Amino acid sequence: MDIGAIPVAGIARLAPMAGISNAPFRLVARECGSAMTTSEEIDAMSLVRENPVAREIARFYPEERPLAMQLLGCDAAVLVPAAEALQAAGADIIDLNMGCPVNKIIRQGKGSALMRDVPATAILIRALRRAIAVPFTVKIRGGWDDQHLNAVEVARMLQDEGVDAITVHPRTRSQQFTGRAPWQIIRDVVEAVDIPVTGNGDVRSMADARRMMAETGCQSVMIGRGALGRPWVFDETLDALDTASRWERMTAATRRHVALIEEHYAENPRYLLNQLRKHLGWYTMNFRGSKAARAAVHPARSRDEALDAFWAFWERTRERALAGEPVEIVPDHSALEG
Ligand SMILES: Cc1cc2nc3c(=O)[nH]c(=O)nc-3n(C[C@H](O)[C@H](O)[C@H](O)COP(=O)(O)O)c2cc1C
């Protein structure tokens, strides 16, 4: 699949997740096989005001590329300079968030609130399209609620306004992240537009990704919660390996992620510890019997405490796996909202 002139080499990529899909996680996912990366949402107003948090979120590794940077906003006068700044900083693609269901965001008219007034949003998209020289993509939901399932109408409008590609997470805003994602809506969008469509929602493996592509006709897939603590979800060669080699590869990816977190957040030890605790907790959740390990990792007061608790669990689990025990599970992250 190409997004505008940018070739995307692979069928699946990491989804944007606020507070999660930051540069270290994106790079480790990319190294495991994610076809490209997308930043978590960056508030356009904060970026234009040079807020340090927004600047931090916009940092990336050149090795991630191609990289889409995602903007959150509802006002062309703010979104246009924000898009120009991201473009100047090296974004290969600018993505607009039209899917965020979080109340404090939609109250400001941002995220999925943009799906409510299609003519007004068309004017916004037109202004952005004029200003953005790189490919321009938009991530949408199925609609506002079950009475307003307008993904097809929105997708047609986006195509007419010159958007290069669309990602569809088919749950409605009111569905948040609960219930199964209705993939049929992805299919409806694929049939309604000619630009590439990326499907998203409840993909937990590359087999799921291929099933979504077969069932909906979408050209590629984004994986969000299915990649938490398992960036190797993008690695299609993993299943063919023997247990020892599989663990070697998973261990290397985990160590790499830890090293990237430590390097990237070296100047912010509190955030560094927060990121370690959060991600290491997810790494444990791929395996049976992780409750005690998580209970030790989450409240850890230092990097060493978190890492010691984590690696002790990891090593025990690896030994059980090498002894032939079925230790791996696919965790349920459905309670997680963003
Ligand atoms: C904690 C969290 C944060 C999220 N943040 C964003 C975001 O910043 N931008 C965005 O477009 N979607 C965001 N999403 C939505 C995901 O990109 C994705 O559409 C959703 O999780 C469904 O895919 P999944 O079933 O593979 O997780 C977030 C989801 C979660 C769980």
Look at ligand 1, atom 23, and give the residue with the nearest C-alpha. Answer: 201
* 266 and 120 both lie in a single domain: no
| CA separation for the pair 308, 286 (Å, rounded) | 18
Same domain, 55 and 14: yes
CA 224–ligand 1 middle distance (angstroms): 6
98: buried, middle or exposed (CB in 10 Å: 19+, 13-18, 0-12)?
Answer: buried
Give, for all 338 residues of the chain, the pLDDT tens digit.
999 999 999 999 999 999 999 999 999 999 999 999 999 999 999 999 999 999 999 999 999 999 999 999 999 999 999 999 999 999 999 999 999 999 999 999 999 999 999 999 999 999 999 999 999 999 999 999 889 999 999 999 999 999 999 999 999 888 766 677 899 999 999 999 999 999 999 999 999 999 999 999 999 999 999 999 999 999 999 999 999 999 999 999 999 999 999 999 999 999 999 999 999 999 999 999 999 999 999 999 999 999 999 999 999 999 999 999 999 998 989 888 65
Same domain, 112 and 254: no
**Residue at 70: amino acid letter:** Q
Q: Does a structural domain hold residue 229?
A: yes
Decide if 333 is inside a domain. no
| 212: helix, strand or coil | helix
Q: Please report whether residue 172 resides in a domain.
A: yes
> What's the DSSP call for residue 197?
E
Please name the residue that has the structure tokens 């007034």: 117
Reading the block at residue 30, the tokens are 């990319």
218 located within any domain: yes
Domain extent for 256: 241-322
CA dist 331 → 24, 85, 223, 258, 299 (Å): 22, 38, 14, 21, 21
When divided into structural domains, the chain yields a total of 2
Whole-number Å distance between alpha carbons of 186 and 209: 13
Report, in this order, helix, strand and coil percent for the chain, each rounded to 5. Answer: 50, 15, 35
Q: Report the CATH number that the domain containing residue 80 is assigned in CATH.
A: 3.20.20.70
116 C-alpha to center of ligand 1: Å?
20
pLDDT single digits (tens) 64-89: 999 999 999 999 999 999 999 999 99
136 alpha carbon – ligand 1 mean position (Å): 19
Tens-place pLDDT, residues 211-266: 999 999 999 999 999 999 999 999 999 999 999 999 999 999 999 999 999 999 99
Answer for the pair 287, 310: CB distance below 8 angstroms, yes or no: no
Whether residues 137 and 40 share a domain: the answer is yes
Mutation to probe ligand 1, out of 53, 169, 197 (largest number of atoms < 8 A from CB): 169
In the numeric block, which tokens belong to residue 166?
Answer: 């669309």
Q: Kindly state whether residue 328 falls inside one of the protein's structural domains.
A: no
CB 11 within 8 A of CB 39: no
Specify whether 100 is catalytic: yes
* 335, part of any domain: no
Alpha helices in 193-302 (DSSP H): 206-216, 243-264, 269-284, 291-297
Cα–Cα distance measured from residue 62 to residue 228, given in angstroms and rounded to the nearest whole number: 22
Q: Going by C-beta distance under 8 Å and a sequence separation of 6 or more, which residues neighbour residue 335?
A: none
Tell me, yes or no, whether 225 and 247 share the same domain.
Answer: no
| Shared-domain flag, residues 100 and 124 | yes
* Residues 17 and 106 reside in one and the same domain: yes
220-223 and 93-98 beta bridge pairing? unpaired
Nearest 10 degrees: Cα torsion 314, 315, 316, 320: 100
Ligand 1 atom, smallest distance to 41 CA: 8
DSSP 323: T
277 and 298 Cβ atoms separated by less than 8 Å: yes
Q: Are residues 89 and 144 in the same domain?
A: yes
In testing the pocket of ligand 1, which one of 14, 17, 42 has its CB within 8 Å of the most ligand atoms?
17
Examine the domain organization and report whether 230 and 256 are in the same domain: no
**Is 104 in the same domain as 173?**
yes
E-only strand ranges, 106-159: 136-143
Same structural domain for residues 99 and 223?
Answer: yes
